[in-house]
Amino acid sequence: MAVYRFRVFIEDDHEIYRDIDVQGRQRFADLHKEVVRSFNFQQHQPAEYISSDQQWYEGDTVVQLDANLEGDHQKIFSHIDAPRQRFLCVTISQKEVGLALELQKILKDEEDAVYPRCAKSMGAAPYYTQPPPEPIVDEPDAADEPELDADIFDADGPSEEEIERFQKQAEKASKSGNLKTPKVDFKKLKNESKKKDEEDGFGDFNMDDLM
């Protein structure tokens, strides 16, 4: 059985093409599967193959394929009428894509070869026929996280002696079953706070000085 080599162009860019070898007894659905695979087009999309003259004018519909590539029982060789037979194809890959196919040569069937096959690939498929890129999500870098200033935790509070006394009172109350709020000597805390302000140089500070 003869093997037909079709050059499949992206219709608006003839520098991007694939040379597909297909047996004459195979169907357009077989040819289209290899076209989709070789261009990395979106799969399971309908396609229409249309006859064309040598000036690339559209002729009659050769075959219409559904998303499962069914509805085609026509052999390719039955539509070869010229040495440079041409076809047009309209399919979907993210959006509508036009293809132009031209017969390049007729070859002998190679033993053990699997058809259809891509014999040559030139150029990357257009971006608009490819899946959109995955969104880039920046992960926060630990090194970029602001360090918490230890000074923000500095504040006046009970002394270690007061805390220890509170704990002892709580333990004693817990054992006796008579829990109550520990008594805090606010006068003492105020005096300690005032003493600390004097040590830090804020003893004579007055808010009116800032007005």
CATH number, domain at 76? 3.10.290.30
170 and 115 both lie in a single domain: no
188 and 115 both lie in a single domain: no
Where residue 211 falls among pLDDT bands split at 50, 70, 90? Answer: very low
181 and 98 both lie in a single domain: no
Residue 75 covered by a domain? yes
Q: What is the pLDDT of residues 60-104, one digit of tens each?
A: 999 999 998 876 678 999 999 999 999 999 999 999 999 999 999
123 and 163 both lie in a single domain: no
Residue 135 covered by a domain? no
Where residue 13 falls among pLDDT bands split at 50, 70, 90? Answer: confident
89: nearest Cα among 25, 30, 8: 8
Residue 125 in contact with residue 40, Cβ under 8 Å? yes
Inform me whether the pLDDT recorded for 130 exceeds 60. yes
Mean pLDDT (the chain) is: 81
123 and 161 both lie in a single domain: no
Residue 134 covered by a domain? no
Amino acid code (one letter) for 98: G
Amino acid code (one letter) for 210: L
50 and 104 both lie in a single domain: yes
Rg (CA), the chain: 41
9 and 100 both lie in a single domain: yes
93 and 45 both lie in a single domain: yes
Residue 77 covered by a domain? yes
For 165, the token pair is: 């006394």
Tell me the mean pLDDT in the region 42-59: 94
Where residue 14 falls among pLDDT bands split at 50, 70, 90? Answer: confident
Residue length, the chain? 211
Residue 27 in contact with residue 72, Cβ under 8 Å? yes
Residue 142 covered by a domain? no
Count of domains in the chain? 2
Amino acid code (one letter) for 176: S
76 and 177 both lie in a single domain: no
Which range, of 5-19, 92-106, 151-165, averages the lowest pLDDT? 151-165
Tell me the mean pLDDT in the region 49-64: 94
Residue 139 covered by a domain? no
32 and 104 both lie in a single domain: yes
- What's residue 69's pLDDT? 82
35 and 106 both lie in a single domain: yes
Mark which of 64, 95, 129 sits at the end of a domain.
129
Q: Could you give the angle at the alpha carbon of 196 between the alpha carbons of 169 and 151, nearest 5°?
A: 90
Inform me whether the pLDDT recorded for 206 exceeds 60. no
Note down the domain range covering 95. 3-129
For 40, the token pair is: 């990395």
For 28, the token pair is: 């357009």
Whole-number percent of the chain with pLDDT over 70: 70
